Homo-oligomer: A and B are copies of this chain.
Amino acid sequence: MFAEIITIGDEILIGQIVDTNSAWMAVELNKIGVKVKQITSISDDAAHIVNALDQAQQRADLILITGGLGPTRDDITKHTLANYFNMPLRSDEATLAHVRQFFEKLNRPMIDLNIKQAEVPDGCTVIMNKNGTAPCMWFEHQGKIIVSMPGVPFEMKYLMEDEIIPRIKNSFQLPFIIHQTILTAGLGESFLAQQIQDIEESLPSHIKLAYLPKLGLVRLRLSASGLDELALKTEISTYTRQIVERVEQYVVLTEDVPFEKAIMDLMAKHELSFSVAESCTGGYLSHLFTQHPGSSTVFQGGAVTYSNALKQAVLGVQEQTLIQFGAVSEQTAEEMALGAINNFNTDYAIAITGVAGPGGGTAEKPVGLVWIAVANKTTVKAKRYQFANQRLQNIERAALAAMMLLFLQLKSDLKN
């Protein structure tokens, strides 16, 4: 069963916002065996919305629309859908009561524009939006289901989880789709492909293999679809095992969790703690860890020591080290990691210092040069990296490299 996602909003087409809704929706749909055939982003334009709806119905049975439901005049999705399905607008009492309550809670008067938010095409199923004022609308039309939701992520997400996904499950007979990812490091995409060519060629047609390279890692993804969940799982795990055995030395993870989450899970299992000392990554590494619920079990905190003064004051880096070797050096990275271990009293610490760019590079220490150190209670090791010229990419790469160093140290320590 195929779905199509249509996101409506000029702000997407001028690049003012990145459409993160679609990826989230795709993940949720995949979980229940719905494949996303196409994601289409269009502007707040009636003719274009109609055109996209027509074309989507040729490809998919389920069409999920987000955006364009705000109270202001640039938002026209609701009127366009009413015309498209030839349904006059009516005021929905339950929605109006909800909108009224919403404004009472905020202690603000309701204006005409808000009252109009309770209008819905007469003939659709109205789904209450507890997190906002624009209602969600569910249409059934010539054997297809079309759902219109607000584009505000936390309104859309709650509606999907609590209302739409359960209704989709009831409306369609769905196959199972199972994904298995294998995270690898240290071997390029084409070399991996060469090593596992025979396995790839032996895959049955309902199992696909994809290569997803990112920042020096390659994620392999096996996807199987069918009606027998158990058989699919067995098949997928057989092929996963074959691939893992073949390229074992490059395999980092076979769980489908973010790398940083896997590291923290491993630490939690062994009751270990860690802290970070960031210079050029400026808080990004800490954020990667702390975005996950429960990170406080193992992550104690850290320092963002952008200035040399803070490297000394918070991490105890020696002034002499900074003068002799500079802030971006093996010695400084090691002293930062040791400072974190000692001052923050954790089992592990990671330190990153580098030139993120675009400014600040020299002939000797060019933009993209990064030193990363990992310390445990007894040792500290630093490694040199030379990344490229893009600031954000250097920040991401450095954070990833730091996680890799920590992971390898951890794995090695746990073996012994």
Q: Of A106-114, A118-126, A140-148, A163-171, which binds chain B?
A: A106-114
**Of the residues B19, B43, B179, B208, contact of A19 by C-beta under 8 Å:** B19
A259 at the binding interface (Cβ < 8 Å): no
Q: Please give, as numbers and ranges, the residues of chain B lying within 8 Å of A154 by CB-CB distance.
A: 388, 390, 393
CB-contacts of A170-218 with B (<8 A): 179, 181, 188-191, 193-194, 200, 208-214
A289 at the binding interface (Cβ < 8 Å): yes
Q: Please give, as numbers and ranges, the residues of chain B lying within 8 Å of A73 by CB-CB distance.
A: 193, 200
CB-contacts of A71-85 with B (<8 A): 71-74
Q: Please give, as numbers and ranges, the residues of chain B lying within 8 Å of A296 by CB-CB distance.
A: 306-307, 360
Q: Please give, as numbers and ranges, the residues of chain B lying within 8 Å of A111 by CB-CB distance.
A: 190-191, 194
A194 and B113 within 8 A (CB): yes
B314 and A307 within 8 A (CB): no
A13 and B25 within 8 A (CB): no
Q: Please give, as numbers and ranges, the residues of chain B lying within 8 Å of A291 by CB-CB distance.
A: 282, 284, 391-392, 395
Chain B's closest residue to A51 (CB) is B59
Q: Please give, as numbers and ranges, the residues of chain B lying within 8 Å of A359 by CB-CB distance.
A: 293-294
Q: Please give, as numbers and ranges, the residues of chain B lying within 8 Å of A213 by CB-CB distance.
A: 70, 152
Q: When A284-B290, A300-B307 are in contact, do A18 and B20 touch as well, CB less than 8 Å?
A: yes
**Of the residues B113, B193, B295, contact of A71 by C-beta under 8 Å:** B193
A12 to B26, CA, bound (A): 8
Q: Of A34-42, A234-242, A373-381, which binds chain B?
A: A34-42
**Of the residues B24, B30, B310, contact of A344 by C-beta under 8 Å:** B310
B35 and A13 within 8 A (CB): yes
B293 and A282 within 8 A (CB): no
A282 and B303 within 8 A (CB): no
A313 at the binding interface (Cβ < 8 Å): yes
**Of the residues B40, B48, B309, contact of A300 by C-beta under 8 Å:** B309
Q: Which of A19, A40, A282 counts the most B-chain CB atoms under 10 A from its CB?
A: A282
| Closest beta carbon of chain B to A353's beta carbon, Å | 12
A92 at the binding interface (Cβ < 8 Å): no
B113 and A193 within 8 A (CB): yes
Q: Please give, as numbers and ranges, the residues of chain B lying within 8 Å of A226 by CB-CB distance.
A: none
**Of the residues B43, B72, B189, contact of A72 by C-beta under 8 Å:** B189
A40 and B38 within 8 A (CB): yes
Q: When A13-B26, A14-B27 are in contact, do A306 and B299 touch as well, CB less than 8 Å?
A: yes
- Other contacts beyond A299-B306, A301-B306: 15, CB < 8 A: A12-B26, A18-B23, A39-B40, A72-B193, A74-B210, A154-B390, A283-B283, A287-B287, A291-B391, A293-B357, A300-B306, A302-B304, A303-B303, A309-B344, A314-B343
The 3 closest A-B pairs by CB, nearest first: A282-B290, A283-B286, A15-B26
What would 14 A/B residue contacts be, using CB atoms closer than 8 Å? A14-B223, A38-B41, A70-B189, A71-B193, A111-B191, A276-B304, A278-B286, A282-B289, A283-B302, A283-B304, A290-B304, A301-B305, A301-B310, A303-B304
